[in-house]
Amino acid sequence: MVTINVNGARREVQAPGDTPLLYVLRNDLLLTGPQFGCGLAQCGACSVLIDGKEVRSCITALSDVGTDQEITTLEGLPGRWAKQKGLSQEEAKNTLHPVQHAWIEEQTPQCGFCQNGMMIKATELLESNSNPTPEQIKAAYTTSGISPILCRCGTYKAVMESVQRAAAIMAKGR
């Protein structure tokens, strides 16, 4: 039995320690925001935040996640924002993260299968840089992590516009 800290809650899991976190999240905890894309740390479909850093859950063994580390999945983005903004439980339930709002306003996804990674990366970026330039956005999605975050449907321009919109929403503190 391993205890991990996911989206602000402590969760007990039975899986063997060498199980990639991706399968623990998806199959044991039914947190299906992260997706299986390659299993090789080459695409970003499986991304989650661990202590605020974008990490590939497909190559992160369960046993490598510390009990005190904070995992945030796509499902946990609203709660993460609510906590950062000190929103009440009631408000938190009805909110989305500004990144998610921006993604809806910009109608960003095509098939959407890669967009988990796109939104996780945006969150990581905007928490450290509240107003990134286009070049900084490109760098975040290509050179900042273990591999570029890939989108086969070609939504890169929409993602760039959405990151900028999310930055604007966050600046307003919504």
Partner 1 sequence: MATRSTNSIDVFGATLTRRQFVKTSGILAVGVSVVGTSPLRGDTPKGTVAKNSLDPSLASSWLEIHPNGTVTIRTGKNDFGQGSVYTAYRQIVAEELSVPFEAITTVVTGSTDQTPDGGGSFGFLNDGTPNLRKVAAYTYQALLDLAATKLGVPKDKLTVKDGVASGGGKDISYGDLIKGQQLSLTIPVKGDLTNIIGLTVDGNPPMKPVSEYTVIGKSFPSSAIREKVSAKANWATDVRLPGMLHGRIVHPKTLGSTLISAGKLDKVKFPSAQVIVKQNLVGVVAPTEWEAIQAAQQVAAETKWTDWKGLPGTAKLYQYLKKESDWTSTPVMKSGATKGDTAAALASAKKKLSATYQLSYMKHAPIGPTMAIGDVQADGMVHIHTHNQNPQELRGEIAKMLGTTIDKVVVHIYPGPGHYGRSNGGNAGAEDEAVILSQAVGKPVRVQWMRADDIQWSTQSPASFSDVELAVDDQGKLAAFQIDHYMPAMQDDRLVGAVLAGLPTTPAPDVRGDFVTSTVNNISDEWLYAQAPNVIERGHGTFQVGQKASPIAVGLRDHSMRTPVQFQQNYPRELAISEAAVLAGADAIQFRIDNLKEERAIGVLKTVRESSGWDVRPSPKPGVATTGKEPVRGRGVSLMLRDGTYWACVCHIAVTPDTGVIKVEKCTFAVDPGVIINPTHLKRHVEGGAMMGISMALLEEVTIDESGVTQDDWNSYPILTMADIPEIKVELIPNPKVGKYGGGSEAANALAAPAIAAAFYDATGKAIRRLPMKPAYVLEALKA
The tokens 């009440």 sit on which residue?
88
Per rule CB under 6 A, is residue 136 in the interface with ligand FES? Answer: no
* From 31-39, 67-75, 88-96, 129-137, span contacting ligand FES (CB under 6 A): 31-39
Cβ-proximal residues to 105 (8 Å cutoff; 6+ apart), any chain: 162, 165
Per rule CB under 6 A, is residue 162 in the interface with ligand FES? Answer: no
> Under a CB-based contact definition with an 8 Å cutoff, are residues 149 and 118 in contact?
yes
Report, in angstroms and rounded to the nearest whole number, the Rg of the chain calculated over CA atoms: 15
Residue 45's nearest CA partner among 30, 31, 56, 53 is 56
Q: Using CA atoms, how far apart are residues 99 and 170, in angstroms rounded to an integer?
A: 8
Which of residues 8, 85, 92, 110 is near ligand FES by CB under 6 A? 110
The side-by-side arrangement of strands in the sheet containing 47-50 is 9-13, 2-6, 70-72, 47-50, 53-56
* From 48-56, 64-72, 82-90, 102-110, span contacting partner 1 (CB under 8 A): 102-110
Per rule CB under 8 A, is residue 69 in the interface with partner 1? Answer: no
* From 62-70, 76-84, 90-98, 147-155, span contacting ligand FES (CB under 6 A): 147-155
Per rule CB under 6 A, is residue 152 in the interface with ligand FES? Answer: yes
Task: Return the number of the residue (95 or 108) whose C-beta is nearest ligand FES.
Answer: 108
Interface residue list for ligand FES (CB under 6 A): 36-39, 41-46, 56, 58, 109-115, 151-153, 155
